[in-house]
Amino acid sequence: MQWFDALIQGILLGGMYAQYALGMALMFGVMRIVNVSHGDLVILLSLIGISLASSFGLGPFAVMAALVPLAVALGWILQRAVLNRVVGEDPLPSLIATFGLSLALQNLMLQIWSANSRSLPGGGIESRSIEIGGIYIGLLPVIVLLVATGLTLGLDLVLKRMRFGRALRAASADVEAAAMTGINPRSVYAMATAIAVGILGFAAVFQSLRSTVAPSDGGAQLIYAFEAVIIGGMGSVWGAFAGSMVLGIAQAIGFRIDPGFGVLSGHIVFLLVLALRPQGLFGRA
Amino acid sequence: MTEVLSTHGLVARYGDFQALYDVDVEVHEGEAVALIGANGAGKSTFLRAILGLLPVKPEMVHLDGKPIGGTPTDRMVQKGVAIVPEGRRLFTGMSVSDNLRVAIDQTSRLGRKGGWTLKRLYQLFPILEEKAKTPVQSLSGGQQQMVSIGRALLCQPRLLLCDEISLGLAPRVIREIYTALPEIRAHGTSIVVVEQDVGLAKSASDRLYCMLEGRVTLTGRSEEITREQIGEAYFGGGHAVV
Amino acid sequence: MTSISTTVDQATPPVVNVRRQTLSGVIALSLFALIIVALATMAWWAKTGTIRMVLELCCYIVAAQMWNMLAGYAGLVSVGQQAFIGVTGYAVFVLAQTFGVNPFLAIPLALVVPAIVAIPCYLLLHRLDGPYFAIGTWVVAEVFRLVASNLGWVNAGAGMSLGVMRDYSGFERNVAMSILCALMILVAIGGSYWFLRSRYGLALIAMRDNPVAASSQGVNVRRLRFMIYVAAAVGCGFAGAVYFMAQLRINPPSAFDPMWSNVAIFIVMIGGIGTIEGVVIGALIYFVADRFFGEYGASYFVVLGVMTVLVALYARTGIWGMISKYWDAPWFPIRRHLMVEKEDRS
Amino acid sequence: MHGQQDNIPRESLLQARNVSKSFGAFRVLYDVGFDVYRGEILGILGPNGAGKTTLFNMISGDIKPSGGEIRLGDVQLKGEPPHRRCQMGIGRTYQIPQPYSGMTTFENLLVASAFGGGRSEAESYDYCAQVLRDCELIEKANMLAGSLTLLDRKRLELARALASSPKLLLLDEIAGGLTDEESKDLVKLIAQIRDRGVTIVWIEHVLNALMAVADRLLVLNFGEKIAEGEPKTVIADPEVMRVYMGIEA
């Protein structure tokens, strides 16, 4: 029973991680870029959300309504101003640029919001839970999981069905050939990053509802997103989703064994996947 | 005849290495021009330079008499220049129809009009309709080439650049593909074919240019140029072709 | 190829001369020797505070040079070298404090640890592509931090102190630190220079320029990358051992602090990746900036971050790259300049 | 012709048997088998996309065959990484020159000499200077390889392959774009290399150059061997004429 509970909690936790991982999988799939400041962007958005909530007395969903468009704009600017200049064969420039960005963002946040942990008041939804057969399931984690599933489904549909999705897939298969078909790679990239960061707008609200955030937390979120993408196997949004579930379950079970072992057991599953199935659990060999 | 495309002293380099030297080529409306030459002669580089994939000065390439050298590739496509690239360069992981849809998407986004529709394309290459849902990577080489040509046609080009479309295909398939060229020209599209196969190039073109070492060494009407002239231009002075 | 020379079958080809050193190199090398001596004798001419500051700078230079060898030559971009810094730091504390080994003997002994630990790390991580490799190294460093935080015999999250150092007088400690500084710089900068000048340096640069061609020319690219990774782990370990010995305290967050990577990357990128000169320049800039602006804390790091972004966007070769474009006077010349004599054959 | 006499028993240096290669559904080489005899120059002809370079890549170890086997003397090459094959005596050039652009011409050769040829550095200096002279690159010894012209890059490819002291030298289209005079000199140089005991396989489009020096020819089309043997006989083959330049005989 205890382990079944851990499994459920793990899946719910996975819903949170999926919201970080989707954007990372998208950006890597399309541009072969890993944005090191991915986690810092979540934290930045969270802190902006918290400030909005406290200054204007907004509820969590109003904050989300404000935050997601802001995140989309942020992503678009990030791509136009920085990443479009460093996309290319050599992974070093993009890595260094986003690394520097991460350093700057973290310290900028420290300056503005101080090192204190904060959280978003949720008006009670963060503590409500339902009991099913002796297992307490938090309402908020369920919402998180549902939103994550919806986002994955939506992104998958966009990629498969929409004009923009086709352009994105074309650019990720062969960017030069895509340009030869009339696609402007830079705008497609900008849209991709706008979506990737836009998803972080949702993640930021949920992250700051379910726990506290502090300027230095970004690194951890980046690592979770990264682990989920690798565990799931690069190449598809559902791979990233499934990888997030595995990571969440690994952490939840580890946490049951020993509270100090939670995050570590996620890392260990990641390293095991790397050792035994480097293409990822659901990736093509 | 009016000129669709012309290059004037076109020079292109990869880093420190100069690949094209003062190349002057012109393509008239409705005309088919062949570009021949050995490997490394600069034929593909020439196409890449036109398409904005290599940095060139604006005045080096004219489209309809206006300087457009160095315009980004996607904008060149919008201006009506499409390419069937060497090696086909299809979007792997996507179906035949999705590969074609990408081109349709872009022309409709930009409001470019033209005579090519999916239906018409399927009439030209009926096999593609049959394989519409098949992922492109599991097609045969010839079918892949048809997708690549189809994708370029759906960009509604006024000028179609074909880079070694016979490469690695069986003679029967090559014939099949080359018989589509007159049909394409019938739409008023000018064509530049880059070929290694001299016979094919001669029969498919009105005029031809032979390149060697980044320079044009021979040009003239295709039916007037002799095999000996080509041999000399192809390999450098003194060599006879077989 | 107008005249194929008849020397193809000539039994004794003319002896050729190859120039390896330049005037600028000789000057720089003399300065380098002077600096090593100055470092080694710091205890006799500098204050304890200065020695500590210089020691910190030396540790950063070593970490930066190791990152430079990894990212600038071997194409292995790591952001997790703190794993080896921390592990070796801990090894020194365990050896000296728990097992009573002489602390100065403990440093060379502890260097075995990163060498061994690096092997499984590399075997796991080398499967990851460019940017993923980088984050992978970070995960490994996090694993080390978390393990150290949970491990009872290194006192878990509370960390350890190096009480045994109290057996030595302040002067004795200063002497040790001075000599260790000199040794570190000698090994990291001198050693890298020696390596880059050797035949392996040829292979390393060839591999950086074109790994496929290098391997078809007989260079074992996979082994060379592996060797660099292990060597960089040991180098970082050396810095970690010295740094934490001077600190007298170690705990998981400080031992495995990602700050090490931040600083190393800043130094190398600003100075100029893929050159030793770049590391020296970058380290000096960092040192000066840290002295004057370090007190501004966070905003100082914002500036460092923004500068790193700008370098990645507009000046990939860093300061030394810009200098050497106009001024061909390397401080650490590694070229082999063939002296071609005008052949006086008729 | 410097060809081998038929009455001398020929010793096979390289054997390829049933070699095939596919990339996904795309078949590049199919069931190709041939021998390269010690001391000969084997020319390989074929249109673009016939699988010639793929064949070289499999001999040098850059890619793995999908089927079949390749032997060097008595050694099965399967599983040997490229650097080992180079040390075993297989030297190659690339069709698109692959210089170490940040190193000088001289240093480019040193890498091959020290690692492929197994020489000490001091020995390499003399040897590489000699190879540079032979390949007419000595004047450019201290230039960065990245700034060489295409012609010099091709020379560098050949020089670098020679610096690794190969038993078997694989040349991938090194004559393209040379003037007539230059290509004659190249032929002379290649003959000299062969006379020093190096076995050569040469992929080339410049037919006259190949005809002047090859002992045998092998023609590929669509990944299959369509002809092999005495150059004059092979080139007169109507199938070869049709395939090679699309000229109906």
| pLDDT 10s digits, B33-82 | 999 887 677 888 999 999 999 999 999 999 998 999 989 999 999 999 99
B227 contacts on D by Cβ (under 8 Å): 247
> Which of A55-69, A112-126, B7-21: highest mean pLDDT?
A55-69
How many structural domains is chain A composed of? Answer: 1
- CA C186 to chain D, closest CA, distance in angstroms equals 25
Q: How many CB atoms sit inside 10 A of residue C116's CB?
A: 11
Asked if D192 and D200 count as a contact pair (C-beta separation under 8 A), the reply is no
Task: Choose among C84, C96, C109: nearest CA to C240.
Answer: C84
CA A232, A237, A241: angle at the middle one, nearest 5?
55
Q: Is the pLDDT of residue D248 over 70?
A: no
Exposed / middle / buried, residue B179 (Cβ in 10 Å: 0-12, 13-18, 19+): exposed
Tokens of D168: 């078997």
Look at residue C346 and tell me whether its pLDDT is greater than 70: no
More confident residue, D27 or C3: D27
> Looking at residues D155-175, what average pLDDT do you find?
92
> Does the structure show a pLDDT above 50 at D11?
yes
Confirm whether C345 is domain-assigned. Answer: no
Structure confidence by residue, pLDDT tens digits, A232-252: 886 688 999 999 999 999 999
DSSP C340: P
Specify the length of chain A in residues: 285
Amino acid letter, residue B158: R
Return the minimum-mean-pLDDT range out of A54-58, B171-175, C257-261, D93-97.
Answer: B171-175
- Asked if D196 is an interface residue toward chain C (Cβ–Cβ < 8 A), one would say yes
Cβ pairs bridging A and B (under 8 Å): 71
Q: How far is CA A70 from CA A56, A202, C121, C151, in A?
A: 16, 11, 40, 43
Q: Subunits that touch chain C (at least 3 Cβ pairs < 8 angstroms)?
A: A, D
Which residues in A lie closer than 8 A to residue B89 (C-beta atoms)?
174, 176-177, 180
CA–CA distance, A251 with A258 (Å, rounded to integer): 10
Distance, in Å, from the CA atom of A167 to the CA atom of A185, rounded to the nearest integer, reads 9
Alpha carbon of B241: minimum distance to chain A alpha carbons (Å): 35
| pLDDT for residue A165 | 93
Percentage of residues in chain D with pLDDT exceeding 90? Answer: 43
**CB-CB contact of A76 with A190 (8 Å):** yes
* Tokens linked to A161: 């069905």
Using the beta-carbon criterion (under 8 Å), do A179 and B72 form an inter-chain contact?
A: yes
Q: How many structural domains compose chain C?
A: 1
Q: Print the domain residue range for C192.
A: 25-257
Decide if pLDDT at C8 tops 60: no
* pLDDT category of residue B235 using cuts at 50, 70 and 90: low
Report residue D9 as tokens: 């028993």
Q: Write out residues 157-186 of B within 8 Å (CB-CB) of D.
A: 164, 167-168, 170
- Residue C307's φ and ψ, nearest 5 degrees, are -65, -40
What residues of D are in contact with residue B39 (Cβ under 8 Å)? 48, 95, 173, 176, 205
Please determine, for residue D223, whether its predicted confidence score (pLDDT) is greater than 80: yes
pLDDT (0 to 100) of residue B38 = 73
CA gap D18, D14 in Å, rounded: 13
**Count of CB atoms within 10 A of residue B18's CB?**
14
**Both tokens assigned to A95:** 């890595």
Q: Which residue of A has its CA nearest to C265?
A: A96
The nearest CA of chain C is from the CA of D241 a distance in Å of: 30
Band (A52; pLDDT cuts 50, 70, 90)? very high
Question: What pLDDT digit, counting tens, does each position of C153-164 carry?
Answer: 888 888 899 888
CA dihedral C265, C267, C271, C275 (to 10 degrees): -70
Report yes or no: A101 at the C interface, CB cutoff 8 Å.
yes
Cβ distance D100 to C213 less than 8 Å, yes or no, reads yes
Torsion sign across C-alpha atoms B177, B180, B182, B187: negative
Q: Does residue C193 lie in a domain region?
A: yes
pLDDT digits (tens, 9 = 90+) for C291-341: 888 777 778 889 889 999 999 999 889 999 999 888 888 899 888 888 876
CB distance D150–B16 less than 8 Å? Answer: no
Q: Please list every residue in chain D whose beta carbon sits closer than 8 Å to the beta carbon of residue C3.
A: 136, 185
- DSSP type of residue C302: H
Q: Do A183 and B78 touch (CB under 8 A)?
A: no
Chains A and C touch (3+ CB pairs under 8 A): yes
Q: Which of A58-67, A122-131, B21-30, C233-242 has the least mean pLDDT?
A: A122-131
B6 strand-pairing partners? B26, B62
* Contact (CB<8Å) B39/D173: yes
d(CA B68, CA B159) in angstroms, rounded, equals 14
> In whole angstroms, what is the distance from residue C106 CA to residue C112 CA?
10
Selected for mutation to probe chain B from A163, A180, A189 (highest B CB count within 10 Å) is A180
pLDDT in tens, A183-218: 999 999 999 999 999 999 999 999 999 889 999 999
Dist CA D2 CA D4 (whole Å): 7
Q: Is B90 an interface residue toward A (CB < 8 Å)? A: yes
Continuous H helices in chain D: 52-60, 82-87, 105-111, 121-134, 150-163, 180-195, 207-213, 231-236, 238-245
Question: What number is the ipTM of this complex?
Answer: 0.84
Helix count and strand count (H, E) for chain D: 9, 10
Give chain C's mean pLDDT: 89
Residues 6+ apart with CB under 8 A from C84: C114, C117, C118, C232, C233, C234, C236, C237, C240
Residues in chain D: 249
Structure confidence at residue A65 (pLDDT)? 95
Distance (Å) of CA C20 to CA B40, C198, C203, D107, D147: 37, 11, 17, 12, 22
Question: Does any CB of chain A come closer than 8 Å to the CB of residue B41?
Answer: no
Side chain identity at B142, as an amino acid letter? G
Residue A282 domain-assigned (yes or no): no
Q: Is pLDDT larger for residue D218 or for residue A131?
A: D218
* Averaged pLDDT for residues B214-225: 87
At C10 the pLDDT is 45
Q: For residue range B205-215, what is the model confidence (pLDDT) as tens digits?
A: 999 999 887 88
pLDDT digits (tens, 9 = 90+) for C104-149: 999 999 999 999 999 999 999 988 877 888 888 999 999 999 999 9
Is residue C111 within 8 Å of residue C260, measured between CB atoms? no
- CA distance linking residue A36 with residue C335, whole number of Å: 36
Residue to mutate among D57, D58, D83, D126, with most C CBs inside 10 A, is D83
If you count residue pairs, one on A and one on C, with CB atoms under 8 Å apart, how many are there?
138
- Report the chain C residue with the minimal C-alpha distance to residue D56: C216
pLDDT at D246 over 60: no
On whether residue C327 sits in a domain, the answer given is no
Contact present, B and C (at least 3 Cβ pairs less than 8 Å):
no
Residue D249, pLDDT score: 36
Query: What is the percent of chain A where pLDDT is above 90?
Result: 71
Would you say residue C20 has pLDDT above 50? yes
Q: Is pLDDT at A123 greater than 50 in this prediction?
A: yes
Q: Quick check: is C273 in a domain?
A: no
Residues A34 and C131: beta-carbon distance below 8 Å:
yes
| pLDDT at residue B103, rounded to an integer | 93
Q: Tell me how close the Cα of B79 comes to any Cα of chain D, in angstroms.
A: 31
Closest C-alpha among C7, C28, C97 to residue C330: C28
Q: What is the mean pLDDT of residues B82-109?
A: 92
> pLDDT at residue C81 above 90?
yes
Mean pLDDT of chain A: 91
How big is chain A by its Cα radius of gyration, in Å? 19
Lowest mean pLDDT among A170-174, B74-78, B220-224, D103-107: B220-224
Nearest 5°: the CA angle C27, C29, C34 is 95
* Partners of A285 in beta bridges: none
What range does the domain containing A120 cover? 2-276
Amino acid present at D22? S
**Any idea what the CATH number is for the domain that residue A75 is in?**
1.10.3470
Query: A163 at the B interface (CB within 8 A)?
Result: yes
Confidence of residue B201 (pLDDT cuts 50, 70, 90): confident
Residue A76: predicted pLDDT: 97
Q: Give the per-residue pLDDT at B192.
A: 94
d(CA B216, CA B205): 17
Q: How far apart are CA C89 and CA C254, in angstroms?
A: 10
The first and second tokens of residue D49, run together, are: 């996309």
One DSSP character per residue, B60-114 reads GEEETTEE-TT--HHHHHHTTEEEE-TT----TTSBHHHHHHHHHHHHHHHT---
Q: How far apart are CA C299 and CA C306, in angstroms?
A: 11
Q: Where are the domains of chain B?
A: 3-89+158-241
Give pLDDT, residue C301: 87
Q: Is residue C197 part of a domain?
A: yes
- Name the band, by pLDDT with cuts 50, 70 and 90, for residue D4: very low
Q: Hey, are the CB atoms on A181 and B85 less than 8 Å from each other?
A: no
* pLDDT tier for residue D111 given thresholds of 50, 70 and 90: very high
Confidence class for position C344, pLDDT limits 50, 70, 90: very low
Cβ contact D177–B213 (<8 Å): yes
Nearest one of C124, C117, C122 to C91, comparing CA atoms? C117
Domain-embedded: residue C40: yes
| A285 located within any domain | no
What's chain B's average pLDDT? 86
Mutual angle of helices A185-210 and A60-81, in 10-degree steps: 150
Please, are residues D204 and D175 in contact by the beta-carbon 8 Å criterion?
yes
Which candidate from D86, D104, D136 shows the least CB-CB separation from C1?
D136
**Of C1, C210, C215, which is closest to D186 when you measure between CB atoms?**
C1
The residues near B149 (Cβ < 8 Å, ≥ 6 apart) are: B84, B125, B162, B165, B177, B180
State the Cα–Cα distance between residues A35 and A94, nearest whole angstrom: 8
Question: Residue C335 and residue D192: Cβ atoms within 8 Å?
Answer: no
Neighbours of D66 (CB within 10 A): 15
Please check whether residue A283 touches B, CB under 8 A.
Answer: no
- Tell the CATH topology of B3-89+158-241: Rossmann fold (3.40.50)
pLDDT in tens, D36-73: 999 999 999 887 777 888 999 999 999 999 999 999 98
User: A160-185, pLDDT tens digit by residue?
Assistant: 889 999 999 999 999 999 999 999 99
Contacts of B198 (CB under 8 A, 6+ apart): B36, B227, B230, B234, B241, D245, D246, D247
Count chain C–chain D contacts defined by CB atoms under 8 A.
138
Asked whether the beta carbons of residue A104 and residue C128 sit closer than 8 angstroms, the reply is no
Quick check: C131 and A94 CB within 8 A? yes
CA dihedral sign, ordered D54, D57, D61, D63 = negative
User: Which pLDDT score is estimated for B239?
Assistant: 41
Percent of chain D with pLDDT over 70: 90
- β-strand partners of D169: D91, D200
